[in-house]
Amino acid sequence: MTIALPALGVPRKHKIDLSWPILILFAALLCVLIILPMSWLFYYSLVDRSGAFTLGNFETLVTDPVFVAPLITTLILATSSSIICCVFAAPMGWLVARTDIPLRRTVRALVTASFVTPPFLGAIAWELLAAPNSGLLNKIYRAITGAPQDEHLFNIYSLPGLIFVISCYTFPYVFVLLANALDRIPGDLEDASSILGGRTWTTARRVTIPLALPALLAGALVAFLQAMTLFGSPAILAIPAGFHTMTTKIWSLFNYPPKPELAAAASVPLLVLTVVLLRAEALILGRRGYSVVGGKQGDPRLIRLGGIKWVALAFVFVILTCPVFFPYGALLNATFSRVATSFVTFDNFTLHNIHFVFFELSATKLAVKNTFLLGVASATVGTLMALVIAYLTTRRAIRGYRALGFLATAPVAIPGIVLGVGLFLSYARPPLVLYGTLWILLLAFVTIALPAAYQQLQSAFRSVHTDLEDASRILGSTRLRTLRDITAPLLRTSVIATWCFIFVGVIRELSAAIMLFTSETKVISVLIFDLNESGDLGAISVLGLIMLAITFAVVIAVNRIPGFGAARLRNT
Amino acid sequence: MTKLRFSRRNVLKASTAVAAGAVVARIGAPMRPAQAQARTVVAEPITPTLIEAAKKEGKLAFYTAMDLAFAQRLAKTFEERFSGITVRVERSGAERIFTRIGQEYGGNIHAVDVVNTADQAHCIVWKRNGWLASYLPEEVAKYFEPKYYDPDGLHVTTRILVSPLAYNTNLVKPEEAPKSFADLLDPKWAGKLVKAHPAYSGTIMNATFQIARELGWDYFEKLAKQRVLQVQSATDTPKKIALGERAVMVDGAGYLVIRYKEEGQPVEIVYPQEGTPLATGPSAVFKAAPNPNAARLFQNWMHSREAQQFLVDWARQYSPHQQTAEKAGLRKLSEIKLMREDAESVESMSEDIKTRYARIFKV
């Protein structure tokens, strides 16, 4: 029996509920962030120098061999990379997630290492290793086989060389998607198959693989998109070899005198292709996931490999030499060697490169400062935005939340360099001139990081039940206060993981930064790229190692320091 | 106005005047005879007031196309000489710097104080845009030939570069080394050449223009078939042959080859028989410089005997300062067969050159 009690105390003061304005503000911000640059991009692609409407830009794109060749090269590049990634990452993912191969955690850590290594730094390191005449590996080959000076085993300045380097640094995407999917397959299904008499291979073929196939396809598509939109590696390896890819071509169109109309037109195929592939991925994955349907489920049973586990381990480590061991070794070698492509010996050892970067190169301090500032700012703003937007969409707090969710994931369809072009065209002109400030870089980095952050936080939100929030609202708190006091602390580990993910992503970003920087807003990635154009390999190695050190420090801190809840940095 | 009578005498007078004018204008271009163009600006020495004002500003942005190690060393020497002024060196290829300054000024960003480029054509454009400040250092007026500075003091030639051939002595014997541009077309050099890009480097823009003028564009068409390694910077080609990555460099910064040779690296320079391309590297102070006094101090100091001697001794470049002492090991400029520089033509043809080059070399 309920008793009606008289109202206690003073009637509650009605504070202004800031929830709605803030929520609308975020929605508006999102629109500006994404729709504005893209509209300018489309505008420029459809006008000529004088501003009149024309389809001439697109016509040039399809008829002029100067543009058609890079487009074909890009498609070949992306397809080959994607296939190679799948061929190597799939067995690796299966071995790590489903078998009792030793050193599983080390392997995962090394894959994380290759994931956070900037692809352009890997490309430079591979230049040191596999340049046809001066590369370290080729020197070893000639020393061992006694081949003449002219012969080489590897030529990194070629299309296969470029495909190889790109695959090295996109395979983590496939690996992670596949390993995560395989982690989640309930053991019950495989147990059932075993009970019914299926052997290991039959179980794998008829149960595990079909369940993992969607993830593999998704991984292949992601790898394709990544390979297609990379700028740094092609600029470093393709141009010396004498060919362009779409991204380097777009960038070259901004050399004086700039041709923004052609650059915008050249960006459109990349954009369209990305959107089409993402739709295809959504269609393929569709409702078929591997989502858990209630009830208790067993842990996946690890397959015993027996004797071949050492062979398998060797296989995995051989693969990992390509993105991790060899390149890092080459960078370390070049740091301490007087000649970047000679092995460090007693009379070759020098600390000059380190001294040069820290005490002579005037751009270092500024670049490091800018990178840190932008990293922290982008991570904070990005996490905040992703948090609010994820809340809005998972809790269906406002009308049109679906559109908001779509906009939050839309930037994944925009290649980095295309976004750079769009932002340049939007903000290098009045009324709002952000070009030349760190703000434009902040916009770019936040836009690029938003989709992944949003997805991470969205899945985190789904794991928090609404009861707690409902209780808070019933007791009279506003949505925003609920979010701040109840939900956010519960999501602390995910929020921190997202923050670090964005921070790491910002440090290695080059494609957008290369379009938007000026001399005062240089970041480390652009500085390394500049130094590569002038051939200062020693300085590049030192800066590259600094970059990697900062990245690893952040990643390890997130995973180890208590209080951060030992959050696992899940790569999406 | 009285009607002009088209008598034979008047027509003859008029056409002679026009022809004479055309001839004078043709000759007028890069070499300016001292008597034809009177210096309109007062030469300024380094005064304590200037130093004080510069130190108050405390910093300076120097955009340069010099080799990075040299640029940083120069900046450091300046910082040691005038303590309290930090120099931020922004180094990239001259064409790239030109693009960036254009982009920055287009977005109303005035970050650059002093620029040093390797392409005189840039100064023509900047002068036309009215971006340069008139400032003529005293030592320039006293010790530089008039052809090395603008009569309005808008820019001064800081260094003179040549773009010769060079080869790695471990990979190529001196008797087999190429002696001319034509030699490079020999099939034995296929896959062994490295070359820089005119869309990045001012030295190479000049070299490309001059080679195209002397040897024709089909020289480049034939060269492209030699599977040349295409790098960007003129300072990268000497590094690539020093590393042994390629055997011969087609163009690049000759001064770096000399410096590396004197450091003991296995490189040797070759001055091609058809003539060596020449580029003068002018410097200028910008009108809208954020640190105008520091800029003027740096411009002044950079052309003083002290700094120019450093240029000769450490960087192994040619100096226009008449009081610098030559250091043995570098062939005199007067003893090299040089190609003729032509800044006006480069300025008007630069887009054309870049497009044509990109079509031939595919990048």
Distance (Å, rounded) from C-alpha A548 to C-alpha A117?
A: 7
> Any idea which residue has 């770019």 for tokens?
A444
Q: Residue B128: enclosing H or E segment and its boundaries?
A: helix B120-129
DSSP string covering A130-164, please?
H-TTT-HHHHHHHHHH---TT--S--SSSHHHHHH
Is B358 at the interface with chain A, CB within 8 A? yes
Distance (Å, rounded) from C-alpha B211 to C-alpha B208?
A: 5
Are A133 and B244 a contacting pair at CB < 8 A?
yes
Q: Is the confidence at residue A445, as pLDDT, over 60?
A: yes
Are A66 and B100 a contacting pair at CB < 8 A?
no
Phi, then psi, of A452 in degrees rounded to 5: -65, -45
The pLDDT tens digits of the residues spanning B261-290 come to 999 999 999 999 999 999 999 999 999 999
pLDDT band of residue B14 (cuts 50, 70, 90) is low
User: Which among A149, A428, A534 has the least Cβ separation from residue B236?
Assistant: A534
A519 or A78, which is more confident? A78
Residue of A nearest to B265 (CA): A339
Is B231 at the interface with chain A, CB within 8 A? yes
DSSP letter at A195 equals H
Q: Is the confidence at residue A290, as pLDDT, over 60?
A: no
Cβ-in-10-Å burial (0-12, 13-18, 19+) of A529 comes to: buried
pLDDT band of residue B32 (cuts 50, 70, 90) is very low
Q: Is the confidence at residue A502, as pLDDT, over 50?
A: yes
Is A436 at the interface with chain B, CB within 8 A? yes
User: Which among A134, A242, A356 has the least Cβ separation from residue B230?
Assistant: A242
A409 or A450, which is more confident? A450
CB pairs under 8 A between A and B: 130
A337 strand-pairing partners: A349
Q: Is the confidence at residue B133, as pLDDT, over 50?
A: yes
Q: Residue A90: enclosing H or E segment and its boundaries?
A: helix A65-98
Interface test with A, best of B60, B62, B63, B68 (most A CBs within 10 A): B68
User: Which among B86, B200, B354 has the least Cβ separation from residue A533?
Assistant: B200
Are A519 and B95 a contacting pair at CB < 8 A?
no
The residues spanned by each domain of chain A are: 19-52+351-572
pLDDT at B154: 94
Which of B213, B266, B216, B217 has its CA nearest to residue B238?
B266
Lowest-pLDDT range, A430-444, A549-563, B238-252? A549-563
Are A436 and B232 a contacting pair at CB < 8 A?
no
Is A291 at the interface with chain B, CB within 8 A? no
The interface pTM score, or ipTM, of the predicted complex is 0.84
A66 chain-B contacts, CB cut-off 8 A:
358-359
The pLDDT tens digits of the residues spanning A318-362 come to 999 999 999 999 999 999 998 888 898 888 899 999 999 999 998
Give me the CATH code for the A19-52+351-572 domain, please: 1.10.3720.10
Are B89 and A340 a contacting pair at CB < 8 A?
no
Distance (Å, rounded) from C-alpha A122 to C-alpha A324?
A: 9
pLDDT band of residue B50 (cuts 50, 70, 90) is very high
Question: Quick check: B133 and B285 in contact, CB under 8 A?
Answer: yes
* Rounded (10°) angle between helices A232-241 and A524-533: 10
The residues spanned by each domain of chain B are: 43-159+280-330, 164-276+347-361
Are B109 and A132 a contacting pair at CB < 8 A?
no
Which of A56, A66, A465, A443 has its CA nearest to residue B356?
A66
Which of A496, A499, A503 has its CA nearest to residue A564?
A496
Are B103 and A531 a contacting pair at CB < 8 A?
no
The domains spanning B43-159+280-330 and B164-276+347-361 adopt the same CATH topology: yes
Q: How many Cβ atoms sit within 10 Å of the Cβ of residue B335?
A: 8
Phi, then psi, of B319 in degrees rounded to 5: -110, 140
Are A362 and B229 a contacting pair at CB < 8 A?
no
Is B236 at the interface with chain A, CB within 8 A? yes
For B43-159+280-330, give the CATH class: alpha beta
Q: Is the confidence at residue B30, as pLDDT, over 60?
A: no
> Any idea which residue has 């003893």 for tokens?
B335
pLDDT band of residue A213 (cuts 50, 70, 90) is confident
pLDDT at A17: 64
> Any idea which residue has 């003449």 for tokens?
A148
- Would you call A65 helix, strand, or coil by DSSP? helix
Q: Is the confidence at residue A441, as pLDDT, over 90?
A: yes
User: Which among A252, A518, A536 has the least Cβ separation from residue B68?
Assistant: A536
Are B107 and A435 a contacting pair at CB < 8 A?
yes
Structure-block tokens of residue B203 = 């030295």
- Separation in Å, CA of A351 to nearest CA in chain B: 15
The pLDDT tens digits of the residues spanning A145-169 come to 988 888 888 999 999 999 999 999 9
A363 chain-B contacts, CB cut-off 8 A:
88-91
Q: Is the confidence at residue A23, as pLDDT, over 50?
A: yes
Are B108 and A255 a contacting pair at CB < 8 A?
no
- Separation in Å, CA of B215 to nearest CA in chain A: 23
Give the pLDDT mean for A405-417.
83
What is the dihedral angle through the alpha carbons of B130, B133, B309, B196, rounded to the nearest 10 degrees? -30
The pLDDT tens digits of the residues spanning A1-21 come to 667 666 555 555 555 666 677
Distance (Å, rounded) from C-alpha B259 to C-alpha B277?
A: 19
Give me the CATH code for the B164-276+347-361 domain, please: 3.40.190.10
Distance (Å, rounded) from C-alpha A140 to C-alpha B272?
A: 35
B235 chain-A contacts, CB cut-off 8 A:
534-535
Distance (Å, rounded) from C-alpha B213 to C-alpha B256?
A: 25
* Rounded (10°) angle between helices A537-560 and A363-394: 40
